[in-house]
Amino acid sequence: MEKSISVIIPVLGSQSSAMRSDIPLVLHAVCGRSMLDYTMDTARCLTDNIAVLTAGGCGESMHGHGVEPGFIHPLADDQNSAYAFLQAAVQVSGDSEYFILLPGNLPLVTLSTLQDLLQFAGSQQLDAVLLAAGHTALPEFAGQVICVRVKWLADLLTMHQSKLKAIPMQTMDLWHLLTAEQAKKKLFHPVHPEETMAVTDRITLSEAERAMRNRINHKHMQNGVTLIDPSQTYIGPDVCIEQDTVIYPGNVLEGSTVIGRGCTLYPNNRLKDVRLGEGVTLQSSVILESSIGDKTTVGPYAYIRPGSEIGSGVRIGDFVEIKKSVIGEGSKVSHLTYIGDARLGKDVNVGCGVVCVNYDGKRKQRVTVGDHAFIGCNVNLIAPVEVEHDSYIAAGSTITDRVPAKALAIARARQVNKEGWVDKREKQDG
């Protein structure tokens, strides 16, 4: 990391009128992360000297977006001039040779571009360099990435104090303010002009989303992942995918999801903070904050809720819901079943329509099923209850007591057929 460099991130208002939103502009998300998160990550890779200059009472809302409390430097409500902002930038830069003004609404700026910008400024002994797209400098302060020599700016502030105090900091055009005759300044054009895209409204937000999604998807494809239709595949910036995985359109992969080798994600899955083993197959399912073992299949239309651990070689079928449960290796929960707050052993077979009745009105209770157990269709397991290994439960049973190992449990009323009942009823009604 550069020690003689500072990064100044301006956040100068709690709302964005162009966005028509109560959310601060820099906290709007691109591919699942706030723009400020991207800016902070890039800044951290460049230097330890980072300052977020805030105004308008928005400092508190920055927490939880990669901004530690020590990074935030609020400006007083009466310090709303260009002079106050630039003076604060000089002070927090300390003994740095340069600072980079990096607005938090430019999520596409990369570390390599900022390093090239610094090298360009230093090699030519420049006082100021603007990161420009094409041949046009952006006039809006919110869209300017500028590298400034700290000592030169401090001298400029002394000479033009009165002028700068009359300019509101939210509207200042910093590039054109740096017009002292002795200034040595130039434009620097990045290799990828899209990096200078400033998000100012919902339209530019969607454009940044598209550009970031393309960047993320291209990285995964270069690393050996097949995306059938990248334009319809939504992958967050922190998702890891190993090679030879195939992802069909409509998949949404979020958070810190990790996908192992050779998986197949058929259309329309949503995964958030999920860990998949190797060779997993998913179809049209939602999986949240859970893990899935090797060669397991899930779906279609399964819902695996947070805190679940699904073993290897497991089958989770259609319209199955798993909540905060452990499913052992080789077990099958094929369809129309709810497994909540339960622990199933290895090679358990769960029939259609099984329900773990885990809530007694006050607290959640546990269901435990041993290895090789067979749970028939339409069984209710009333927690807390234990079904021991190698046991069988007859279809339609409601189980309230322990089922011993290798036993057959039947808990249902005996069938009674009343011959001639329909004819008798019709005579009575007539």
Q: Which residues are catalytic?
A: 335
> Which element (helix H / strand E) includes 424?
helix 421-429
Q: Is 8 helix (H, G, I), strand (E, B) or coil?
A: strand
Distance, CA of 229 to CA of 333 (rounded, Å): 31
User: Are 111 and 46 within 8 A, CB to CB?
Assistant: yes
DSSP letter for 136, please.
B
> Which element (helix H / strand E) includes 57?
none
Q: Is 47 helix (H, G, I), strand (E, B) or coil?
A: strand
> Which element (helix H / strand E) includes 205?
helix 202-222
The DSSP string of 329-369 is TT-EEEEEEEEESEEE-TT-EE-TT-EEE-B-SSSB--EEE
Other beta carbons less than 10 A from residue 64's beta carbon: 10
Distance, CA of 135 to CA of 6 (rounded, Å): 27
User: Are 403 and 389 within 8 A, CB to CB?
Assistant: no
User: Are 233 and 218 within 8 A, CB to CB?
Assistant: no
User: Are 396 and 413 within 8 A, CB to CB?
Assistant: no
Measuring CA to CA, how many Å separate 250 from each of 165, 227, 234? 52, 11, 7
Measuring CA to CA, how many Å separate 54 from each of 79, 91, 105? 11, 15, 14
DSSP letter for 133, please.
B
Q: Is 56 helix (H, G, I), strand (E, B) or coil?
A: coil
Of the candidates 292, 284, 289, 287, the residue with the CA atom closest to the CA atom of residue 268: 284
